Amino acid sequence: MNFSPLWLSLKTATIATVIVFILGGLLARLIARNSFPGKSIVEAIILLPLVLPPTVVGFGLLYLFGKNGFLGQLLMNVFDFQVIFSWYAVIIAAVVVSFPLMYQSAAAAFQQYEPNIENAAYTMGASKWKVFWTISFPLAWPGLLAGLVLSFARALGEFGATLMLAGYIPNVTDTIPLAIYFAVESGNMEMATFWVVIIISLGFSAILWLNWWSKRNMMRYSER
């Protein structure tokens, strides 16, 4: 049994989740607490991958990172590096499709507490960086954690954009969803069933843990 799809999926989903957690959290903190012209348009663009078909997202990424794409040509000319049909393409696809979930959860988390708590810290001389780590981040942590878990599960199950940008290369880009698809295409239903059970178990475990943690956290809060 070749477990390459499992290790590749876990590694890709983990790296993608770390990236979207950092970028999504910082961007959500920046946008959620500020009003500016075109804010709704910016948020609509960020959340667009949630409602677009994965193949459309994949087409957009292929258009950007392909040989004739702006970013693709830039990377080739500057670093002599091609993104498409590589492991990096798998990460890029996972980041793009899971980013809206992280942003949405983080934005809601940063909007749920009273901003005067931060303002009070500012008036006492605390820096923005200190306020973020000592006040904003701890208060928003439950929502951030929810976004992190959901982003991981989404990155783990990404298929359409990955297939278009990374293709199916054994031991390089063969994530679990791709392994399932091509196992079915080749008539290997036993292999497809095995990977279906694996990915369902991983997704179910992630959501089950999140629900358990949320209930446990609510119970602690109600006891205070």
Q: Is the dihedral of CA 60, 64, 69, 70 positive or negative?
A: positive
The pLDDT of 184-212, averaged and rounded, is 91
Distance from C-alpha of 28 to C-alpha of 32, rounded to nearest angstrom: 5
**Helix 4-32 and helix 137-156, axial crossing angle in degrees, nearest 10:** 140
Helix (H/G/I), strand (E/B), else coil: 67:
coil
Q: What local confidence, expressed as pLDDT, does residue 183 receive?
A: 92
What pLDDT, in 10s, does the model give residues 39-63?
A: 889 999 999 998 999 889 999 999 9
Cα(65)–Cα(92) distance, rounded to whole angstroms?
10
Specify the pLDDT at position 116.
77
Does the domain formed by 4-175 have CATH 1.10.3720.10? yes
Q: What is the pLDDT of residue 78?
A: 85
What residues contact 126, with CB distance under 8 A and at least 6 apart? 134
Place of tokens 């208060």: 139
Domain boundaries, the chain: 4-175
Residue 169 CB burial class (10 angstroms; 0-12, 13-18, ≥19):
middle
Task: Of 109-118, 176-185, 202-211, give the lowest mean pLDDT range.
Answer: 109-118
Mean confidence (pLDDT) of the chain: 87
Q: What is the value of pTM for the model shown?
A: 0.88
Q: If pLDDT is split at 50, 70 and 90, which confidence band does 189 have?
A: very high
Count CB atoms within 10 A of the CB of residue 104.
21
pLDDT value at residue 17: 95
| pLDDT greater than 80 at residue 18 | yes
pLDDT of amino acid 219: 62
Highest mean pLDDT among 26-35, 46-55, 73-82: 46-55
The pair of three-digit structure tokens given for residue 40, joined into one six-digit string: 């709704």
Task: Please state, in angstroms and rounded to a whole number, the distance separating the CA atoms of residues 108 and 204.
Answer: 24
Q: Is the pLDDT of residue 221 over 70?
A: no
* Percentage of residues in the chain having pLDDT higher than 70: 96
The pLDDT assigned to 123 comes to 81
pLDDT of residue 214: 75
CA–CA gap between residue 164 and residue 56 (Å, rounded):
9
Per-residue pLDDT reduced to its tens digit, 106-155: 998 888 877 777 778 778 877 878 888 888 888 888 889 889 999 999 99
pLDDT at position 220 is 60
Can you tell me the distance from the alpha carbon of 111 to that of 130, in angstroms, rounded to the nearest whole number? Answer: 19
pLDDT of amino acid 60: 92
Whole-number percent of the chain with pLDDT over 90: 46
pLDDT at 217 over 80: no
